[in-house]
């Protein structure tokens, strides 16, 4: 969709739809022409619109403006909206307009008080509007009719040059989210490790500053990635490590490491059959890394970024790892595998060691749909944020608060480490039923003690289960990209 910023006088602004968000307590903005105000006031007085939250009402051929329709949107009884409520409202309106005849919609920024500045409203508003228009129709035999809405304009009475840039940033983040959603929604028979490698190569060809390296399963085994190989060898699909390096600046890089389990049966520790189809989303961490790389490239951020995706299928083939097997990781530490369904931490631990040994990053953030325990703890609203550095943890949490892609801080205390003790190896890959998300993070921390590191457990946020809304969410691309943009702005 095309986005624009305008301060053209409303009587001259041609559009199919002029959107006026109003609370039940607010008065009509002075920016509306008198004739339009009178029409809307009469409509409200007649009882056709109350301003209740979520209410929408159409007025056709309104007097005083060039737009062919007015859409009144109820914001409830609050005179000021918080940012999250504003974004939800905007997303709902965008979804509504996707099914209508309007080709060009104009959102009036001046009619609503939001506890965020205009640049934030336009930036995050563009992102949410674009995300609401997302569709995944690749596998339908008859492609549904395309949405009519092609252009969205944010209108502000006074000119503001910064709003155009803000909208561009929002659209770039939405493009990253869309890529993450596309990868997540693909079926596992089409989206497997080598497919992800191919998509990385495509990105490398598209963006000049992005280079791509693929480490095959055989190469990984030869290098000493015993934990990664233990997972990958259970499938006839070859696993691989995908390394994408973006050089927008010199110096030590920041690194993103994504879990790319393109399908997770649980291995020999087989999962229950119910909802197992959703295990195609177990590469949500990898998808978010791909999406973040795309946004960084689109915005040409002045940062040095190394993104690593550990891609594999977790299958119960005859060559699959057994519970009780002991493997040696790239770091030299040994792991007793008690449950083959705790495979994400196994592919990640070797990827974490690899990026530290080869690229010497100043910061490492891994992202993974790691544990069902995280879903039990936090549900689907917030991703768990673990970090061995308070400043890094807070920076990620703040990025989430800014975008509405929220996280929640979790403990990484040494007290939990004893749950990983093994009588036969340096550690075991599960810590028992208590604090499952925490002990998984503690396992990964053993491979990232010497670097500023954070772990995002996105098992509850990477996709929506069941019903018509089922599908990949694109999270935490907004959080990650806001963190990276902030990092770039800090120099």
Residue-level pLDDT at 27 = 78
Q: SS3 of 233, please? A: coil
Residue-level pLDDT at 29 = 81
CATH architecture assignment, domain 173-490 = 3-Layer(aba) Sandwich (3.40)
Q: SS3 of 87, please? A: helix
> Residue 467 — very low, low, confident or very high, per pLDDT cuts 50/70/90?
confident
> Residue 78 — very low, low, confident or very high, per pLDDT cuts 50/70/90?
confident
- Rounded-to-integer distance, Cα 463 and Cα 476, Å: 11
The single residue listed with the structure tokens 């395309």 is 146
Nearest to 339 by CA among 317, 315, 320, 322: 322
- Rounded-to-integer distance, Cα 77 and Cα 14, Å: 31
Between these two residues, 235 and 23, which has the higher pLDDT value?
235
- Examine the pLDDT at 206 and tell me if it is beyond 80: yes
Angle (nearest 5°) at CA 114 between 110 and 118: 60
Of the candidate ranges 6-10, 289-293, 381-385, 479-483, the one whose mean pLDDT is the lowest = 6-10
The beta strands (E) that lie in 10-147 are given as 17-22, 56-60, 69-74, 104-108
- Examine the pLDDT at 482 and tell me if it is beyond 90: yes
Nearest to 348 by CA among 458, 468, 268: 458
Residue 106 bridge partners (DSSP) = 18, 153
Domain boundaries, the chain: 2-157, 173-490
- Examine the pLDDT at 371 and tell me if it is beyond 90: yes
| Residue 305 near residue 209 (C-beta atoms within 8 A) | no
**CA end-to-end span of the chain, whole Å?**
32
> Residue 145 — very low, low, confident or very high, per pLDDT cuts 50/70/90?
confident
Tens of pLDDT, residue by residue over 207-222, are 999 999 999 999 999 9
122 φ/ψ angles, rounded to the nearest 5 degrees: -75, -45
The burial class, CB within 10 Å (0-12 / 13-18 / 19+), for 84 is middle
- Rounded-to-integer distance, Cα 88 and Cα 171, Å: 17
- Examine the pLDDT at 466 and tell me if it is beyond 90: no
- Rounded-to-integer distance, Cα 244 and Cα 488, Å: 18
Q: What mean pLDDT value characterizes the chain?
A: 96
For 2-157, CATH gives 3.40.220.10
| Residue 102 near residue 56 (C-beta atoms within 8 A) | no
Q: What percent of the chain has pLDDT over 90?
A: 92
| Residue 238 near residue 269 (C-beta atoms within 8 A) | no
Residues labelled as active-site residues: 271, 345
Q: SS3 of 262, please? A: strand
Residue-level pLDDT at 354 = 98
Nearest to 33 by CA among 52, 50, 13: 13
DSSP 235: S
- Examine the pLDDT at 159 and tell me if it is beyond 80: no
- Examine the pLDDT at 24 and tell me if it is beyond 90: no
Q: SS3 of 326, please? A: strand
> Residue 160 — very low, low, confident or very high, per pLDDT cuts 50/70/90?
confident
Tens of pLDDT, residue by residue over 89-129, are 999 999 999 989 999 999 999 888 999 999 999 999 999 99
> Residue 422 — very low, low, confident or very high, per pLDDT cuts 50/70/90?
very high
Residue-level pLDDT at 19 = 96
Residue 181's CB is within 10 A of a number of other CB atoms, namely 26
How many angstroms separate the Cα of 68 from the Cα of each of 44, 129, 443?
19, 21, 60
Across 59-69, average pLDDT: 94
Across 320-338, average pLDDT: 98
Q: What is the dihedral of CA 235, 344, 295, 185, to 10 degrees?
A: 50
Half-sphere exposure of 45 (CA within 13 A, CB side): 7
- Examine the pLDDT at 25 and tell me if it is beyond 80: no
Tens of pLDDT, residue by residue over 338-363, are 999 999 999 999 999 999 999 999 99
> Residue 388 — very low, low, confident or very high, per pLDDT cuts 50/70/90?
very high
The burial class, CB within 10 Å (0-12 / 13-18 / 19+), for 76 is middle
Tens of pLDDT, residue by residue over 425-435, are 999 999 999 99
């Amino acid at each position: 969709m095309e986005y624009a910023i305008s301060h053209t006088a409303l009587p001259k602004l041609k559009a199919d739809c002029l959107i006026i968000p109003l609370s039940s307590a607010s008065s009509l903005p002075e920016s509306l022409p008198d004739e339009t105000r009178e029409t809307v006031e009469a409509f409200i007085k007649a009882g056709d619109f109350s301003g209740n939250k979520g209410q929408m009402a159409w007025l056709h051929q309104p007097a005083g403006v060039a737009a062919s329709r007015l859409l009144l949107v109820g914001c409830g009884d609050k005179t000021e909206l918080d940012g999250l409520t504003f974004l939800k409202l905007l997303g709902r309106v965008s979804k509504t307009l996707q099914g209508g005849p309007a080709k060009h919609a104009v959102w009036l920024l001046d009619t609503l008080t939001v506890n965020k500045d205009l640049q934030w409203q336009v930036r995050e508003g563009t992102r949410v509007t674009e995300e609401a228009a997302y569709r995944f129709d690749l596998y339908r035999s008859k492609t549904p009719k395309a949405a009519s809405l092609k252009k969205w304009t944010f209108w502000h009475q006074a000119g503001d040059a910064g709003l155009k840039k803000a909208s561009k940033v929002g659209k770039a983040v939405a493009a990253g989210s869309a890529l993450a959603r596309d990868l997540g929604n693909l079926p596992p028979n089409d989206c497997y490790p080598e497919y992800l490698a191919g998509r990385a190569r495509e990105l490398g060809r598209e963006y000049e500053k992005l280079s791509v390296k693929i480490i095959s399963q055989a190469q990984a085994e030869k290098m000493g990635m015993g934990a990664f190989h233990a997972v990958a060898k259970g499938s006839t699909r070859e696993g691989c490590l995908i390394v994408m390096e973006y050089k927008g600046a010199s110096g030590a890089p920041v690194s993103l490491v994504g879990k790319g389990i393109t399908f997770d049966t649980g291995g020999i520790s087989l999962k229950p059959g119910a909802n197992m189809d959703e295990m195609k989303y177990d590469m949500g961490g990898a998808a978010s890394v791909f999406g973040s790389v795309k946004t960084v490239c689109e915005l040409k951020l002045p940062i040095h970024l190394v993104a690593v995706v550990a891609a594999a299928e977790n299958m119960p083939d005859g060559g699959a790892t057994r519970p009780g097997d002991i493997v040696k990781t790239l770091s030299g530490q040994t792991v007793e595998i008690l449950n083959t369904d705790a495979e994400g931490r196994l592919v990640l631990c070797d990827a974490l060691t690899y990026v530290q040994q080869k690229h010497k990053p100043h910061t490492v953030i891994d992202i993974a749909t790691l544990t069902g325990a995280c879903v039990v703890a936090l549900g689907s609203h917030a991703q768990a944020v673990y970090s061995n550095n308070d400043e890094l943890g807070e920076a990620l949490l703040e990025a989430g608060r800014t975008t509405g892609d929220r996280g929640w801080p979790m403990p990484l205390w040494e007290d939990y480490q004893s749950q990983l003790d093994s009588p036969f190896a340096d550690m075991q890959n599960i810590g028992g039923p208590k604090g499952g998300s925490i002990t998984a993070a503690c396992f990964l921390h053993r491979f990232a003690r010497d670097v500023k590191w954070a772990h995002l457990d996105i098992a509850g946020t990477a996709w929506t289960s069941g019903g018509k809304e089922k599908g990949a969410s694109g999270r935490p691309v907004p959080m990650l990209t806001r963190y990276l943009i902030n990092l770039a702005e800090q120099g």
